[in-house]
Every structure is written in C-alpha cells, then in structure tokens.
Amino acid sequence: MKDVRVWFTKKDECKYISHLDLNRCILRALHKSRIPIWHTEGFNVHPYATFPLPLSLGFEGERECMDIRLIDEISFSEIKERLNSSLPSGIRIFDVTEPVMKAKEIAFSVFKIKITSDYISAEELYKIINELFNKEEIIVEKKTKKKGMKEIDIKQYLDIYKIERNIGGAILYITLPAGSVTNINPTLIEKAVERYYNIEINFDVIKTDMLNKNQKSFK
C-alpha cells in the first residue's frame, strides 16, 4: 500500500459546502473514479480519506489536501484526471504527491481576507482595521470544547500580518495558529470589529496555505 496526498482548491459556490458534505462528495468521486484506494475494515466499510486541516464553512481554499491510501499502482496524473472528471467545478485537484510531513506538524494557516462594509466608507473601514490591530488587547468570545463560550485576548496571536487598502475597504493578509494545539479562526477578528466599533462588516476569507512551526509550507 502507498500513502498519497491529494491537493485541491475549494472555491465559488463550493465554499458553502460543509466539511461533512465535502467528505461525502469526495468519497463519491473516489468511488466513481475507480481509483484503487484502500477501504476501511469493519461494519461500515468506506474509502479511506483523511483531511489534515478541514476548511471552515464559507471559506475558500487555494491549497487544501486530503490523504488516501492506494492498494495498486496508478500514476499521480491519472488520479488527478479521474477525480476532476467526477468532482463539481468548485473543487479542483491541482496536484498529487507523496506525503512529506505529518498532519500533526501543521501549526499555522495563512489567510487573505477582503474586508468591506455597507455602512461606512472604505477609508473609514481601513482606518478602523489598523486601529484594531494597534490595540494593546483584543477581547472576544471564543467557543471552547470544555468550557463553552469564553473570553480570550486574541492580540497575542496577531503577530504576522499586513493590511492593504483597496477600493472596498481593506485586504488583510494574516498567519494564525492552527492545528491540534491552538486554533484561531479569522472570524474572531470579524467579531472584534463588531464588538469594538459596533458596525457590521463583510469578511471574504481565502485560506492560501498551511505552515509548520518553522513557517514552512505543509507538504
């Protein structure tokens, strides 16, 4: 058997597909494509496919991946071609590789976020975003597994970022902790804007990469 990492994009209307539905969609594509994939054993037999870091609902992804296990020889180019012919247009396989890193090595996610508002000017919004990031603390409510809703200071996690002005408001490029230890969802920044400035904003999020603890792209 051979482990393989399949890289794909998730865009357009498919960004509204939940992770559970994405999993079902790809499992159907694996079945339809007749790729020689290993199936789990036991009562509920199904194709083996794992996602190292699932994408949040409503986010686009430029560099998502899943791991599968092959039981027979097949070229990477054929895996790509077969899967793309069985998937919706919003999900595209762009590469197939052998895994280099383990999923537990993922430590950060990189995001490009377009921020706009229907209630204030682009100039005002750009100013607000910069002002928020310059605060000494940024307190928001975050849902935790053990304690439910809890107030946390996300300022400590907002170290690597760049804010650019654009016609609609601002574009935020930011690297946030992700993975099994600490996970900071970029929507917490959206909550912070609404909490501190009492305005509704539009948050268009694209996850562009995953990194290990040394800021190297996950492979």
The answer on pLDDT for 45 being more than 80 is: no
Backbone angles phi, psi at 77, to 5 degrees: -65, -35
Q: Does residue 78 register a pLDDT over 80?
A: yes
Q: What is the distance between the alpha carbons of residues 27 and 81, in angstroms, rounded to a whole number?
A: 16
Closest by CA position to 173, among listed 107, 114, 132: 114
Q: Tell me which residue of 132, 151, 118 sits closest to 197, measured CA to CA.
A: 132
Per-residue pLDDT at 22 exceeds 80: yes
In this structure, of 36-40, 72-76, 94-98, 111-115, the range with the lowest mean pLDDT score is: 36-40
pTM higher than 0.95, yes or no?
no
What pLDDT, on the 0 to 100 scale, is given for residue 77? 97
